[in-house]
Amino acid sequence: MVLTDTAIKAERLVRRFNGTTAVDEVDLDIPRGEIYGFLGPNGAGKSTTVRVLCTLLTPSAGRAFVAGHDVADEPEKVRLRIGVALQDAALDPKQTGVQLLRLQGRLYGLTRREIDRRLDDLAQLIDIGDALDRAIGTYSGGMKRRLDVAAALVHDPEVLFLDEPTTGLDPVSRARMWDEVRRLNRELGMTIFLTTQYLEEADELADRVGIINDGHLVAEGAPAKLKRAVGNDVIVARLEGNTSGARERVERVPGVHGAEARGDELLITADDGAATIGAVAVALNTVATVHHLTLRTPTLDDVFLELTGNRIETESENNELVEVAS
């Protein structure tokens, strides 16, 4: 099966463990050059799907193709064309970064000259600096993650799998990893399959996301499109004065769908809150004193809640708050 424009394709993919279905008839069609975010809570089937696509597990049913090759029938051809950085990196603390990368290159059959060239390229692409010559045991968590990604890139793969690459990292290290993922995609045109439970990570990086729950792919699409399908933006205004008059006034603002008074607050729904909040503020100030005005946009967690009735647990909220009055 030749898939010239498709990096990853799955057709009713299933993986079972002792009668338990971890991945249940998942369909994927990921074009070359895309960053695809695979989003879901722990235990949803993300890592199992990755392990099947990386040939570490065989499908129980269905078919999957990576870089044009069947993961079950042609696993060796798949492995030569992919890079994999799993959640738990197995790094020898006594090796230096350079030693690890050279070993990885030899395992893929690269010549000494090819390895030298790749190390030069990777030193520019993955920001580790002089640490490459130090023992891995001296690395921080973020440096170990970046080195693991570099090891996955030594043989210049067509498809890179990153399984929760920023779990456990501090915010600064996480942001640096995001920058490097973008550079890999932008500068090399590399297809990246990124699993994550962080809503903001999928929102920031992915061209499209697939949301998995209990082994089922429950939604797929561009983050903005999925969020917009859930509902409108909400502008929350805390007022002093006539909320009834404020409601009538603000509902005449173009782009506003409606407003609901709750005590001293007014909840205003709008198609595009960012574009509307300025006009809303002007309208409210004509009839009441505005103490606080915030904008809440739909999140991927709202999408997950709408589809499953549950939330994805994350370390941080992804609500966008914009203060315009106090």
Answer whether residue 309 is part of any domain: no
pLDDT for res 2: 47
pLDDT for res 317: 40
273 and 143 within one domain: no
Residue 276 tokens read as: 């509307």
pLDDT for res 13: 98
Answer whether residue 320 is part of any domain: no
96 and 145 within one domain: yes
pLDDT for res 107: 93
| Per-residue pLDDT tens digits for 61-110 | 999 999 999 999 999 999 999 999 987 777 899 999 999 999 999 999 99
Answer whether residue 313 is part of any domain: no
214 and 244 within one domain: no
Tell me the C-alpha distance between 214 and 212, whole Å: 7
- CATH number of the domain bearing residue 272: 3.30.70.100
269 and 189 within one domain: no
Count: domains in the chain: 2
Q: Domain range holding 251?
A: 232-297
| Per-residue pLDDT tens digits for 104-154 | 999 999 999 999 999 988 887 777 777 889 999 999 888 888 899 899 999
pLDDT for res 138: 93
215 and 159 within one domain: yes
- First-to-last C-alpha distance (Å) of the chain: 62
Model confidence pTM above 0.85:
no
Mean residue pLDDT of the chain comes to 88
pLDDT for res 222: 95
Q: Which residues of the chain have pLDDT under 70?
A: 1-4, 242, 313-326
Cα dist from 288 to 255, 282, 283, whole Å: 21, 10, 9
Answer whether residue 318 is part of any domain: no
71 and 28 within one domain: yes
19 and 128 within one domain: yes
257 and 185 within one domain: no
Alpha helices in the chain (DSSP H): 46-53, 75-81, 97-107, 112-125, 141-153, 171-188, 199-205, 223-230, 243-250, 273-285, 300-308
244 and 210 within one domain: no
Residue 12 tokens read as: 């009713």
